[in-house]
Amino acid sequence: MSEWLAGLLSLGLAFAGMAALAFAMERHYEQLTGARGTPPAWRLRCLGAALLLAALLPCVWAWGATVGSVAWLGLMSAGAVGCVAAISAAPRWAARAACALGPGALLALAWAGIAQ
Amino acid sequence: MAKAQATSGAGQGGFRQAQAWLHTWCGLWFSWLLFAVFLTGTLAVFEEPITHWMTPEHHAEEAAALAAPAKPTASLGQRLDWGVAYMQEHHAGAGMWELWPADAKGAGELRVFWFDSQRQYASAELDTATGEALAAAGHAPARQTLGGHHFVDFHYELHAGKVGLWIVGIAAMAMLVALVSGVITHKRIFKDFFTFRTRKGQRSWLDAHNAVAVLTLPFQFMIAYTGIVISGLTFMPAGVVTQFGADGAMAFQAALNEPGKPRPSGQPMALPALESFARRGEQLMGQPVRAVVIDHPGDAAARIGVYGWNEDAGARQRLSPTSGLAMFSAATGEVLQVRLPGGVDGGKASLTQSVLAGLHMVAFGGFALKWLYFLCGLAGSAMMATGAILFIVKRRSRHLGEFGSATARVYRLIEAANVAAIAGLGLACISFLWANRMVPLGLAHRDDWELAVFFGVWALALVHALARPAAAAWKEQLGLLAALCLLLPLLNALTVGDHLGAQLLRGDWESAGVELFALATGLAAVWGRRSMARRKSIAASVRRSGASVEAEVKA
C-alpha cells in the first residue's frame, strides 16, 4: 500500500474514532443535537476505540510495525486536532464527516486487502 | 491583589498551585526561544525542498542534463579505478581516501574526498566519461546560500556552535519541565479533551493552548526528549571523561565509529582493484554501494570499507537511519566486519541513541511522515505562541503585580517580546527567502549576507515592537508578514522568471510546495490581522487597564 494512501486512510479512521469519543461526552453531544440529553456513551466509546485501533492497520501495512506505530501515534494526534477544529466550527458537519470517513476508509482498506 | 500574590509564589499553596507557578514562569521565559527553535525545526523537516527553491540555477542544470543526450556512463569498476588513479596521482599521501562512485542506480556523479594537510575535508568531482578531474570553478555555486540548512543549524545551534547547542539543550529541558508541570496544572485534561470555544477571549486562548498541547503531547514530548538525546554526550560528558579522560572526546569517537581501525604497518603494498570488494560488500549488506573508504592506502595494513545507499524500501521502515557497511582487509580480502542496514557499532546503548535520533530527524517513512512531523511541529509552535500570548491576555483584565512597582513596564516588555518572537520570527524567515532572491549574485560571502538579513530583520522587529503600542505592533508586523508571504511567488517570477504554474507543469513539487506554504502563511497572517482588528475594543480596554495599572502603581 502506498504511504500516502495509508496515511490518509489512517487519518480518516483516526478522525472518525476521535469524533465518536467526543460525541460520547455530554458537552459535545449537546453541541450535536442542540438539546440536553444522554449520549449512548458506551457504544460511542467502544466504536471510537475500535476505529482508533483500525487506524493502526494501514500504518503497519505500509510502514511495518516500528515506523507504523510512530505514524499511528502521530496520525491519531492529527485526527484529534482536526476533530476539535471541526466540532468547534460545525459540529453537525463534523459528525457527518466522521460518518462518511469511518466506513469509507474501512471499505477502502478492505478493498485494498482483497485486491492484494 | 493580596490573594493573587498569595497563590502565585513557588512553594505557596498546594502541589498543583506550585506546578502552575512553575509552568507559568518556566513556560514564559523559554517560550520565545522555544518558539524559534520549534518553527525553524519544523521548517527544517523540508530542508531539501527549501534548498531546492533557493538554488534556482540548479533547476536549469537539471533541465539541461535532461535535455542533453546522456553521456556514456562508466561501469562501477571503471569509476572506482578512475577515483583511485586520481587519488594516487594527486593525494597519494592522504591517510584516508573516500570514493563516492555513483548513485544508487549506478549513474550520477563520481566524487572523491580526503583530508588535506590542514586536516580539512576536501573533495573533487571527476568526469564520468573520461575520469578527468572537473574544474572546480565550473561548479562554484552561482548563488552561494545556506539554503534550508540555515533552519537546521539555527534550530539546534542558533548558528552559535557549542554555546548555541547548550542554550537550545537547556531550553529543551525547560520544555520537558513545562510539559510535565502543564499536565499536572491542567485540571480537566479529559473533560476538556475536545473542547475549543471560539470568540471567548482569554478562554479561547486557553482552549487553543490546551488543545494543541494535549492532543499532540506524545509528539511534543518525543521531539524535545530525542532532541536532548542526540547531543546527550555533550550535555552529560561524565561517562566519556571517566573512560577516555578530559580530552577524550576524539578518542571516544574513534573507538565508537572506527573500531578495530588498523595501524599502518610501514610496508608498502599496491591497492588491489576495488570492484570485487564493492560487489562483495553489496552482497553482504544488501544495499548498492554509496562509498568506498580506504584507510592507509598503499600500506600493507590497508582496510577497505564499503558503505551502502539507504534508498531501498526497507530504509523507510527502519527507525534507525544508519546504512549498511562491510569492512575488508585489503591484503587478504578477509571480511573484518559486516553491519546490516539500521545496525550500529557500540552495542545496545548506541542503537538506542541511533533510534532516538532517527525518531527526531524522521529519516524514515517518506514524505507522508515528513508532512505529519511538519504539522505536529506547527502544533508545537502554536503551543508556545498561544502560551506566551495567554500570559499577557490573562493579565490584561487584571494585573497580578508580580514585579512590584515595575509590573506595568515588565508586562509591556513581555508583550513586545511576544510580538518580536512570534510575528517577528515569521518576518525573519520569509525575509531569508527574499534575501535569497535580492542579494546580488557573486557577492563575497553571499550566504552570510542572507543570514545577516534574517537576524537583521528579526532585530528590527524587536525594535519596532518596543517602539509601538502592542496592538499596533501586532497589526503592522502581521500585515508585513502577509505581504512578504503573498508576494513571494511574484518576487520569484520577477527575479528568476519561475512561477507556480510552470513549477506545477514540470512536476516540481518542491518549489511549488515552498511557494504554496508561503501563500498559506500569508493568508493566515491576513486572518490574524483581521481578527486583531475585530477585537479593537479589547485593545482599547487594554490601554485603559494599562493606564489603571500605572495609576495603581503610582498610588
Domain range enclosing A29: 3-110
Q: Where are the domains positioned within chain B? A: 71-140+260-344, 399-555
Pairwise CB contact (< 8 Å): A28 & B369: no
Question: Which residues of chain B neighbour A25 with C-beta distances below 8 Å?
Answer: 191, 193-194
Judged by a CB distance cut-off of 8 A, whether residue A90 touches chain B is: no
**C-alpha span between B44 and B98 (Å, rounded):** 28
Question: Which residues of chain B neighbour A60 with C-beta distances below 8 Å?
Answer: none
**C-alpha span between B354 and B230 (Å, rounded):** 8
In a domain, residue A115? The reply is no
Q: If you count DSSP H runs as helices and E runs as strands, how many of each does chain A have, helices first? A: 5, 0
In a domain, residue A60? The reply is yes
* Candidates A70, A73, A81; nearest CB to B379: A81
In a domain, residue A116? The reply is no
Judged by a CB distance cut-off of 8 A, whether residue A46 touches chain B is: no
Pairing relation of β-strands B335-339 and B325-329? antiparallel
Pairwise CB contact (< 8 Å): B372 & A74: yes
Question: Which residues of chain B neighbour A74 with C-beta distances below 8 Å?
Answer: 218-219, 369, 372-373, 376
In a domain, residue A29? The reply is yes
Question: Which residues of chain B neighbour A89 with C-beta distances below 8 Å?
Answer: 198
**C-alpha span between B315 and B317 (Å, rounded):** 5
Among chain A residues, the shortest Cα distance to B375 is held by A78
Pairwise CB contact (< 8 Å): A77 & B197: no
Task: Look up the ipTM and state it.
Answer: 0.96
- Each residue of A57-76: b (16+ CB within 10 Å) or e? bbbbbbbbebbbebbbbbbb
pTM for this predicted structure: 0.91
In a domain, residue A36? The reply is yes
**C-alpha span between B112 and B547 (Å, rounded):** 68
Over its length of 555 residues, how does chain B's per-residue pLDDT go in tens digits? 334 444 455 656 789 999 999 999 999 999 999 999 999 999 999 999 999 999 998 887 777 776 665 566 788 999 999 999 999 999 888 889 999 998 888 888 899 999 888 888 888 888 888 888 887 644 556 788 999 999 999 999 999 999 999 999 999 999 999 999 999 999 889 999 999 998 888 999 999 999 999 999 999 999 999 999 999 989 999 988 998 888 888 888 888 877 778 888 888 898 999 999 999 999 999 999 999 999 999 899 999 999 999 877 788 889 998 999 999 999 999 999 999 999 988 889 899 999 999 999 998 989 999 999 999 999 999 999 999 999 999 998 787 888 888 898 999 999 999 999 999 999 999 999 999 999 999 888 899 999 999 999 999 999 999 999 999 999 999 999 999 999 999 999 999 999 999 999 988 999 999 999 999 999 999 999 998 887 765 555 555 555 554 444 444
- Beginning with the edge strand found earlier in the chain, give each strand of the sheet holding B289-295 in spatial order: B121-126, B110-115, B96-100, B289-295, B303-308, B325-329, B335-339
Distance of residue B366 Cα from the nearest chain A Cα, in angstroms = 7
Question: Which residues of chain A neighbour B319 with C-beta distances below 8 Å?
Answer: 66-67, 70
Q: Which spans in B399-508 are helix H?
A: 407-438, 446-467, 470-495, 500-505
Among chain B residues, the shortest Cα distance to A4 is held by B368
Question: Which residues of chain B neighbour A3 with C-beta distances below 8 Å?
Answer: 316, 365-369
The count of domains in chain A is: 1
**C-alpha span between A110 and A4 (Å, rounded):** 17
In a domain, residue A101? The reply is yes
